C-alpha cells in the first residue's frame, strides 16, 4: 500500500479499491484458485466476491483456461480478429434467446454506452430512461452521484425513473415525449449499501409495452447478473424479452470481454455507430468465451451456485438468530447481499465481515457478492463454521462497536436519492 | 465472413474491420508470430500493421510472454489487483519523465476520457481544446465525424483548433475564456487518408504556455505513438512536458491495458474522478507491462525499428521512382504513412497495396503503419523484393486502375474538415 500510494492516486481507485471497506481488508492479492484467494501477505480466503463478478466457474478453470491457452499459442491481439470471435458471437446468439447478433467490447461501460448509441441510431431520438440510483457504468451519462470532472450536458438526455414503479416509469416516458430512444433496466436491483430486490413482472411488462408503443428499444443491463440467474438473458424468466442486452463480467470467466447483443431490427443501427477499442478483437478472450458458453450449456453450474448460495443463506440466518441478530439477505441466493437489521450506520455489518475476514472468509459489507461453481458444499460448511465464530465475536463486543464514519456521507446521499 | 455476417453487424466493426480496405484483404487471422501473420486461409504476411499498434516487440515475445504466463499461473482477474499493478505503475513513472503517478484502464478512450475528467476536476472548468480532425478515441466527446447515435451535447465543451497552427490555437484559447480546463494534442499528426506531419516546436511551446497562463492542463494523447518515437513521452524530445499523458496500445506489447500518467499537481484531481472497469485491475497485463518497460529500457528496439523503417522508406522511394511513381512517405519512419502523389482518389495506393498483399506483404493504404522490433533486415529486404514486383504490376495496369468508390465520401468529408 505504501508503494502504491507513491505511484497511484490514493494508492488505488475504482470498484476494487478497499477505501470503503473496513480497516484491515487486503488491497493486493498474490494468488487465486477455484473459490479461494490469497493476499500478498499470504493470508488465504474463501472469496465471496469472485472478482466482482467475472469468476463464475472458479479461478483457473481447467477447460476454459486450456481453450484460452490454445488460442494464445496461435495469437491474441493481431491485426484482425481470429475465428474465435465469430465462434463466440455464434455461441452467445445461440445461448441468448432474443439475440440475433453480437458485438464485443472490453468494459461493461462500453456495452451500455453502445446500447445507448444503438437505441439513438435506431430511433433517431435522444432520450434514454434509466433507474434512479442504478449503476450502468462509469461514463458521464451513467454516473448519477455528483462527481468531479463531469459536465451537466453528459446527462442532458437521460431521464430517471424509480425502479419497479410503473407510475414513475410512466411519468418518465411522458417526459421523453416523442423523443424516447430507449429504456434501460437491470434485471434486478443490485445497488451498493442497499437491499437487493427482484423486478415486479408488471413493471417489466410495462417497460416492454412502453418501448413497443413508442418504437423505442428495451435494453437490459445484464453485465453484473448475466448467466448467474439463468442460462438466458435474466429477464426472459419473466416472459419479457429485450431488444438489446449488455453483458460482461462472467461471459469469459475472467478474460476481458464484454458484449452488446440485439434483435434483428436493431442490427442496422448497431452496425452504424462508431465503436472500437485497441484490444476489443483480441482472440484469447473470445476463445475463453466459447469455452465458457459450453460450460454454461453443459454443466450444472447454475444449480450448484443456487444450492450453495441457499445453504449459505439458511445457515447464516440461523446463526444470526442464535446470536441475537437479524440479517436482511436479499436478491438471488447466488448473488447475495447481506445487511443487518437495525444497523442504519452499518456498524454491525462492518464489524461482522471484519471478524469473518480475520477467520479467512472474504465478504463485502456493502456490495452484492457472488458464488462461483467451484465453491463446494464443504466450503460452505467451513464458511459457516467461521461465520458462527464471527457472530459470537460480534455479540461479545456488541455494545462497543463503533459506527463507520467514512461511509456515512455516501450512505446519506444514497438514502436521499432513494427518497 | 459469411458466418460472421450472420451474427455480427456488417460481419465486423471498428478499426480492424476491412470495410475500407481493398477487396481481398483478409478479415480473420489464425496465427501471429514475430513480425508475421497468417490469415484463416493459411496465407502468410509480413505484417506492417502490428495489430494497429500493440505489437512493438513482436507477436509472442518470449520474455514478455513468460512474465505474463508466470502471473497467469498465480492469478489474473481477482477480487483485487496483484502486486504487479504497483510494479507497473512504478515502472511507467520511472520511464516517463513528467509522470509522478499512473492509473490503468483498458481502452485508449478510457485514458483520454479520464484525462478530460481529470483536467476538469483539477480546474473546476469545462472547456477542452482538441485538434480538428484528430482522433482521440471512440467516445461522444472525441468523435468528430457526423455519426449516428451521438448527441450534440456530447461535444458541448469541446473546442477545435487547427493542429500546428498557433493562431488557431490562440483563437480556441480565447473562445474558452476563463473556462479553459485543458488542451489535448497528439505528439504528431497521424490521421487516416492524410499525410502525417510532425509538431512545430513553437506550436507545442504555445500550447504549454497557454495552459500555464490559464492554470489549465496540457494533455498528450500518446496512445498510438507512445514508446515508438522515444523511451519517454513523445513530446519531451521537443523540450515540452505535459501535465497528463495517455497511453495504451504497445505498453504491454499486446496485453490489454491503457494508462493515464500525470504530474504531482494533478494527482488529487485524478484521484477524485469516477473511473473503473470490470477488468482494469487484472494482473496479467500488468506483469506483461513490467516486462515491456524492461525491454524498452534495456534493448535497442527503438533504434532497430527506426533503422528498419528508414531502410524500407529509402528502398520504396527508389522503387517508386524507378517505376514512374512518386510516394509521399510521411511521419516517423517506424510509423510510416505511404500515400501516392497525384492520387487524389487513392486508386494507385489501393492497387499497389493489393499487389503487395498478393505477394505476402500486409500494408495499409490509408492508416499509418507500425514497425515492430522483431522485423529483421532480411524481412525488409524480402519486403522490398515483393514491393518492387508490386510496383511493376501496378505500372503494367496503370491506365486501367479504377478509383475506389466506397471511400470517396469519407475522403471528401476529411478534405472538407481540413479546409
CB-CB neighbors (< 8 A) of A119 in chain B = 149
Q: How many CB pairs under 8 A join A and B?
A: 316
Q: Which domain holds residue A144?
A: 62-298
pLDDT at A417: 82
- From A416's Cα to the closest Cα of chain B, the distance in A is 20
Residues A386 and A359 sit within 8 Å (Cβ to Cβ): yes
**Does residue B2 sit in the same domain as residue B150?**
no
Pick B15's closest partner by Cβ from A109, A139, A276: A276
- From A254's Cα to the closest Cα of chain B, the distance in A is 6
Residue A251 clears pLDDT 90, i.e. is over it: yes
Pick B106's closest partner by Cβ from A59, A143, A256: A256
What does the pLDDT average to over A143-166? 94
Q: What is the pLDDT of residues B292-313, one digit of tens each?
A: 999 999 999 999 999 999 999 9
CATH number of the domain encompassing residue B127: 3.40.640.10
**Does residue B40 sit in the same domain as residue B67?**
no
| Polymer length of chain B | 419
What does the pLDDT average to over B233-255? 98
**Does residue B7 sit in the same domain as residue B108?**
no
B145 pLDDT band, cuts 50/70/90, is confident
Residue A339 clears pLDDT 90, i.e. is over it: yes
**Does residue A51 sit in the same domain as residue A146?**
no
Buried residues in B326-360 as b, exposed as e (16+ CB within 10 A): ebebbbbbbbbbbbbeebeebbbbbbbbbbbbebe
Pick A16's closest partner by Cβ from B52, B81, B270: B81
CB-CB neighbors (< 8 A) of A77 in chain B = 51, 54-55, 254-256
Contact B7 A90 (CB under 8 A): yes
Contact B117 A77 (CB under 8 A): no
Contact B153 A156 (CB under 8 A): yes
pLDDT at B418: 81
Q: What is the pLDDT of residues A278-337, one digit of tens each?
A: 999 999 999 999 999 999 999 999 999 999 999 999 999 999 999 999 999 999 999 999
| Residue B326 placed within a domain | no
Contact B59 A50 (CB under 8 A): no
Q: What is the pLDDT of residues A69-115, one digit of tens each?
A: 999 999 999 999 999 999 999 999 999 999 999 999 999 999 999 99
**Does residue A183 sit in the same domain as residue A331?**
no
* The total number of structural domains that make up chain B: 2
Q: What is the pLDDT of residues A27-53, one digit of tens each?
A: 999 999 999 999 999 999 999 999 999
Mutate to test the interface with A, among B79, B123, B290 (most CBs of A within 10 A): B79
B97 pLDDT band, cuts 50/70/90, is very high
**Does residue B122 sit in the same domain as residue B23?**
no
pLDDT at A289: 98
DSSP B402: P
What does the pLDDT average to over A333-360? 98
Mutate to test the interface with A, among B5, B9, B253 (most CBs of A within 10 A): B9
Q: What is the pLDDT of residues B316-345, one digit of tens each?
A: 999 999 999 999 999 999 999 999 999 999
CB-CB neighbors (< 8 A) of A254 in chain B = 76-77, 279, 282
Percent of chain B scoring above 70 in pLDDT: 100
pLDDT at B136: 97
- From A259, A281, A298, the end of a domain falls on A298
Residue A146 clears pLDDT 90, i.e. is over it: no
Bridge-based pairing of strands A244-247 and A44-47 is unpaired
Determine the Cα–Cα distance for residues A361 and A84; give it in Å rounded to an integer. Answer: 37
In chain B, whose CA is at the least distance from the CA of A93?
B7
Contact B278 A83 (CB under 8 A): no
pLDDT at A416: 87
Residue B146 clears pLDDT 90, i.e. is over it: no
pLDDT at B42: 97
Bridge-based pairing of strands A361-362 and A337-340 is unpaired
Residues 6+ apart with CB under 8 A from B122: B181, B217, B265, B266, B268, B269
pLDDT at A419: 78
**Does residue A252 sit in the same domain as residue A105?**
yes
Contact A14 B153 (CB under 8 A): no
**Does residue A315 sit in the same domain as residue A290?**
no
**Does residue B145 sit in the same domain as residue B289?**
yes
pLDDT at B419: 78
In chain A, whose CA is at the least distance from the CA of B143?
A274
Strand order across the A361-362 sheet: A29-33, A36-39, A44-47, A361-362
pLDDT at A249: 98
- From A298, A322, A342, the end of a domain falls on A298
| Residue B404 placed within a domain | no
CATH number of the domain encompassing residue A405: 3.90.1150.10
**Does residue B75 sit in the same domain as residue B3?**
no
pLDDT at B417: 82
Determine the Cα–Cα distance for residues A169 and A134; give it in Å rounded to an integer. Answer: 14
| Residue B385 placed within a domain | no
Q: What is the pLDDT of residues B171-218, one digit of tens each?
A: 999 999 999 999 999 999 999 999 999 999 999 999 999 999 999 999
What does the pLDDT average to over A211-226? 98
- What ipTM score was computed for the predicted complex, to two decimals? 0.98
What does the pLDDT average to over A158-176? 98
Mutate to test the interface with A, among B28, B50, B78 (most CBs of A within 10 A): B78
Q: Look over chain B and give the mean of its residue pLDDT values, rounded to a whole number.
A: 97
What does the pLDDT average to over B351-361? 98
Where residue B78 falls (left for φ over 0; alpha for ψ -120 to 50; beta otherwise) is beta
**Does residue A245 sit in the same domain as residue A314?**
no
Residue B147 clears pLDDT 90, i.e. is over it: no
**Does residue A284 sit in the same domain as residue A170?**
yes
Amino acid at each position: 500500500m505504501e508503494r502504491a500510494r507513491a505511484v497511484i492516486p490514493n494508492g488505488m481507485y475504482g470498484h476494487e479499491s478497499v477505501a470503503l471497506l473496513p480497516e484491515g481488508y487486503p488491497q493486493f492479492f498474490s494468488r487465486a484458485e477455484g473459490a479461494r484467494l490469497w493476499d500478498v501477505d499470504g493470508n488465504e480466503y474463501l472469496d465471496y466476491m469472485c472478482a466482482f463478478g467475472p469468476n463464475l466457474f472458479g479461478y483457473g478453470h481447467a477447460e476454459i483456461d486450456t481453450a484460452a491457452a490454445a488460442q494464445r499459442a496461435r495469437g491474441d491481439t493481431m491485426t484482425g480478429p481470429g475465428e474465435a470471435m465469430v465462434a463466440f458471437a455464434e455461441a452467445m446468439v445461440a445461448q441468448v434467446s432474443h439475440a440475433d447478433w453480437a458485438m464485443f467490447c472490453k468494459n461493461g461501460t462500453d456495452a451500455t454506452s453502445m446500447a445507448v448509441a444503438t437505441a439513438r441510431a435506431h430511433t433517431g431520438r435522444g432520450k434514454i430512461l434509466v433507474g434512479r440510483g442504478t449503476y450502468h457504468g462509469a461514463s458521464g451519462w451513467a454516473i448519477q452521484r455528483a462527481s468531479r470532472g463531469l459536465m451537466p450536458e453528459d446527462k442532458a438526455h437521460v431521464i430517471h425513473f424509480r425502479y419497479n414503479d410503473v407510475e414513475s416509469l410512466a411519468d418518465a416516458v411522458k417526459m421523453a415525449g416523442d423523443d424516447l430512444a430507449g429504456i434501460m433496466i437491470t434485471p434486478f436491483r443490485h445497488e451498493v449499501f442497499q437491499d437487493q430486490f427482484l423486478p415486479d413482472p408488471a413493471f417489466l411488462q410495462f417497460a416492454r409495452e412502453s418501448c413497443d408503443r413508442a418504437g423505442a428499444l428495451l435494453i437490459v443491463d445484464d453485465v453484473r447478473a448475466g448467466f448467474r440467474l439463468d442460462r438466458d438473458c435474466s429477464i426472459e424468466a419473466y416472459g419479457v424479452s429485450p431488444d438489446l442486452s449488455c453483458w460482461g463480467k462472467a461471459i469469459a470467466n475472467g478474460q476481458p470481454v464484454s458484449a452488446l447483443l440485439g434483435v434483428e431490427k436493431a442490427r442496422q443501427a448497431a452496425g452504424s455507430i462508431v465503436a472500437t477499442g485497441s484490444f476489443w478483437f483480441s482472440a484469447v478472450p473470445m476463445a475463453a468465451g466459447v469455452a465458457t458458453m459450453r460450460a454454461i450449456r453443459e454443466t450444472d453450474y447454475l444449480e450448484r451456485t443456487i444450492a450453495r448460495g441457499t445453504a449459505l443463506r439458511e445457515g447464516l440466518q440461523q446463526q444470526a438468530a442464535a446470536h441475537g441478530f437479524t440479517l436482511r439477505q436479499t436478491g438471488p441466493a447466488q448473488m447475495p447481499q447481506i445487511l443487518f437489521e437495525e444497523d442504519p450506520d452499518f456498524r454491525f455489518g462492518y464489524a461482522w465481515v471484519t471478524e469473518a475476514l480475520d477467520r479467512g472468509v472474504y465478504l463485502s459489507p456493502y456490495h452484492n457478492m457472488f458464488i462461483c461453481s467451484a465453491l463446494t458444499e464443504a466450503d460452505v460448511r467451513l464458511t459457516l463454521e467461521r461465520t458462527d465464530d464471527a457472530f459470537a465475536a460480534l455479540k461479545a463486543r456488541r455494545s462497543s462497536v463503533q459506527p463507520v464514519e467514512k461511509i456515512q456521507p455516501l450512505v446519506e446521499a444514497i438514502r436521499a436519492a432513494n427518497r
